[in-house]
Amino acid sequence: MAGSSSFPGVYVAETYSLSMSVQPGQSAVTAFVGDFAGVPAGGVRVNGWLDFRTLADADGGADVGKVLGPVLKSYFQNGGGYCYLVSTAGSSLAEALEAVTALGGVTIVVAPGLWDQGAQSAGEWARALTGWAAQNQAMAILHTDRDHTPEQAGTAVEAWGLDQEVLGYAAVYFPWLKQSGDDEPIAPSGAVAGAWTAVDRERGVWKAPANIALRGIDGPLHPASDADQGAHLNLNFIRTFSGRGTLIWGARTLADTDWRYIPIRRLFTMVERDIQRALSVTVFEPNAQRTWESVRSAVDNYLDSLWRQGALMGSSTQEAYFVRVGRGVTMTEHDIAAGRLVVQVGLAALRPAEFITLEFTQQTLQG
């Protein structure tokens, strides 16, 4: 052993150290999907309004500028960051969503032309976008048709027939909006996506994207009342209040479970993405105590930071979250021998000490 030899020389003691940390990634990266002639196959990144105008001018200022200009203008006016445009022109919706996946890091999908081909097509798109969001730790921001009343809108959303397990990954907004300086109303999803991005940047993904005044908007196309909102919980209304402007007045998904609130669903998907990405560094590590302790410490530091920022409930870390990993705790001897590293994380996002649990499994070297 180094340090115990009785003759002179240079001795080096090698110690094991897995350098690991969980870093927060981008929580609001939007992809606009639709029939956008002139958008390159595979999608294109747009960094801001001037960037989009350059793209539109290159297309002759016609198709993509006319179809997407008003929606993207409202997106950037309301705080949207860089986004992607992915077209179905010359391809299917399934192929376009594969292109969204290939872009990497997209967390919000929006279809400005959701209702362009009628109710049946809108249902097909809603199911496809929401299914993609559920599979890719993302959210679908959807909207109702231009001329819907609240009753028609609520019924139309029900008619989509979304599977129960994906309802928490979609949020629907009503009604369309009057854009300042434009006679044509616009779908609300672009402005809403921009507001989500601004809230994430200024407050955090755990802040409800509601009670937010929309910029560049003269008001909703159709007014709504408290009674309308109470009768249609599957809709997030946009309403005008005297002295306060036009506000997003709702923050619900389509679910009626723990995932009924947008910030709760998005917080958990963010945590899932961040921890899964961090666990990938353990793939060539032994499934042993030292690895487990490095994982536990890294995840604990990450969740402690979220708690201190106000993302988790509780006056202490014990009330706010827990991290479990180890033999007889999250793993059997068979798991360890097979190289399955299992980590359990509990988050108190609604009330102190009431945890919703996530479980992560990462393949490592055998124990």
Q: Residue 59 has what pLDDT?
A: 65
| H helix or E strand, kind and range, residue 303 | helix 289-308
Rounded Cα distance, 103 and 89, in Å: 18
Q: In 3D, which of 167, 201, 208, 31 has the Cα closest to residue 111?
A: 31
Where are the extended beta strands (E) located within the chain? Answer: 30-34, 44-46, 83-87, 108-110, 139-143, 170-174, 177-179, 212-213, 217-220, 236-241, 245-249, 321-324, 340-347, 356-363
Rounded Cα distance, 193 and 71, in Å: 10
| H helix or E strand, kind and range, residue 129 | helix 119-135
64 contacts 89 by C-beta, under 8 angstroms: no
Q: Residue 165 has what pLDDT?
A: 96
Written out in words, the top-level CATH class of the domain with range 283-363 is alpha beta
3-state secondary structure 217-229: EEEECCCCCHHHH
What is the residue type of 365?
L
In the chain, which residues have pLDDT < 50?
1-5, 11, 13-16
Rounded Cα distance, 291 and 287, in Å: 6
Q: Residue 4 has what pLDDT?
A: 47
What is the residue type of 335?
D
Q: Residue 18 has what pLDDT?
A: 66
pLDDT digits (tens, 9 = 90+) for 312-342: 999 999 999 999 999 999 999 999 999 999 9
Q: Residue 15 has what pLDDT?
A: 45
Q: Where are the domain boundaries for CATH 3.30.360 in the chain?
A: 283-363
Q: Residue 365 has what pLDDT?
A: 85
Q: Residue 58 has what pLDDT?
A: 78
Q: Residue 307 has what pLDDT?
A: 98
Rounded Cα distance, 367 and 356, in Å: 29
Rounded Cα distance, 55 and 138, in Å: 26
75 contacts 191 by C-beta, under 8 angstroms: yes
Q: Residue 65 has what pLDDT?
A: 79
Q: Residue 62 has what pLDDT?
A: 54
